[in-house]
Amino acid sequence: MFQKTASSYRQGAKTLPGEFYTSPDVFAREREAIFARQWHCAGRAVRLAAPGDYLLRDVAGESVIAVRGRDGVARAFFNVCRHRGTRLCEQASGRFADAIQCPYHAWTYATDGRLIGAPHMQDVEDFDTADYPLHQAAVAEAHGFLFVNVDTGPQPFDEWFRPVGERLARFGLASLEAGHRAEYEVEANWKLVFQNYSECLHCPIIHPELASLLPYQSSANDLVEGPFLGGYMDLTAPHESVTMTGRACARPIAHGDDRRRAYYYSVMPNLLLSIHPDYVNYYVATPLAADRTRIESEWLFAPGSRDDGGFNPADAVTFWDIVNRQDWRIIEQSQQGIASRRYTPGPYSPRESVPAAWDREYLRLMNCDL
């Protein structure tokens, strides 16, 4: 069990200037400085369950194909034909029957990226298919999640993920099964999503349902600096979980003290991970513009839960759909206010130490000094 650490609050911490939430130029800089360099969660690895299964992801403005090869290895390729640059794939997910074929001139690739067919190129002097594999991105699988990095020399995944990975091991996340999937589009900057997730000072005002189960004063953070932030909150007795009824809705995934807690971690730059005694829900954020973000979410449950008479996933799904929509609405109001010419950065309180720490890591990655 990880113990509570000292607060990361620093006197004088303030919110970011308005242009960080509204400027297309800042958004373009983020794409290159953060999203093009950091490991990006592409969702659950089970979506690539069988050879040939694939999904498309937008990473730093690049279309990336994540695919399970015939050898069982997950790989990721830039969605760019080596012939004349045509997009190879348009469907968001699916299964390649035998190979990946360009719809323009039928250049054909194996699921390991090798060029295996190039019509009429036999007449080109010194042409060798080995010289034209698909451009590859880095891939890693951890705790049931798939991660992609489009940088040419990314930080080793295990080294990067270790601080938060150590905290997840006891929950058996890789074995969990999806029970519900939702997608939202929020008219707000992606950073506001992360900053809102990273504090619960707003919960008694915005989320009365949540505050009755998880008092914001009960929070204890164990990651307070760097790209991974968060900790736990204590459930109020006699509640068993974070659901509409307060009762457990599935088989437990937690044990010991964890049966009385909910854990909330943000993983820079696009994953929010919420772990409850009997289920997990997570959010993958994709920035679409300076003022628009797509958020995909899934609710995950212990294997075998469907066989139990007490399995009630709607108890958790309905709860968080309500809370999520409350968050998206207040975040959109924040975006609108920040866009005002009169907005100036405001001070963080000690109860907002984690979003302040998130800002520091963001500024470090952006190489900005405010």
pLDDT tens, per residue, the chain with 370 residues: 333 444 566 777 999 999 999 999 999 999 999 999 999 999 999 999 999 999 999 999 999 999 999 999 999 999 999 999 999 999 999 999 989 999 999 999 999 999 999 999 999 999 999 999 999 999 999 999 999 999 999 999 999 999 999 999 999 999 999 999 999 999 999 999 999 999 999 999 999 999 999 998 888 899 999 999 999 999 999 999 999 999 999 999 999 999 999 999 999 999 999 999 999 999 999 999 999 999 999 999 999 999 988 999 999 999 999 999 999 999 999 999 999 999 999 999 999 999 999 999 999 999 998 7
Q: Which residue spans of the chain are classified as CATH 2.102.10.10?
A: 40-142
Calpha distance 195→365 (Å, rounded): 16
Q: State pTM to two decimals.
A: 0.94
How far are the Cα atoms of 116, 273, 283 from residue 182, in angstroms, in the given order? 38, 15, 9
Q: Which pLDDT belongs to residue 219?
A: 81
Cα–Cα distance between 234 and 110 in angstroms, integer? 50
> Among residues 349, 368, 367, which one has the least CA distance to residue 13?
349
State which fold the 40-142 domain adopts. Answer: Rieske Iron-sulfur Protein (2.102.10)
Identify the pLDDT of residue 123. Answer: 92
The C-alpha atoms of residue 210 and residue 244 are separated, in whole angstroms, by: 9
* 19-37+172-365 is classed CATH 3.40.50.2300: no
Do 3 and 222 form a contact (C-beta atoms < 8 A)?
yes
CATH 3.90.380.10 occupies which residues in the chain? 19-37+172-365
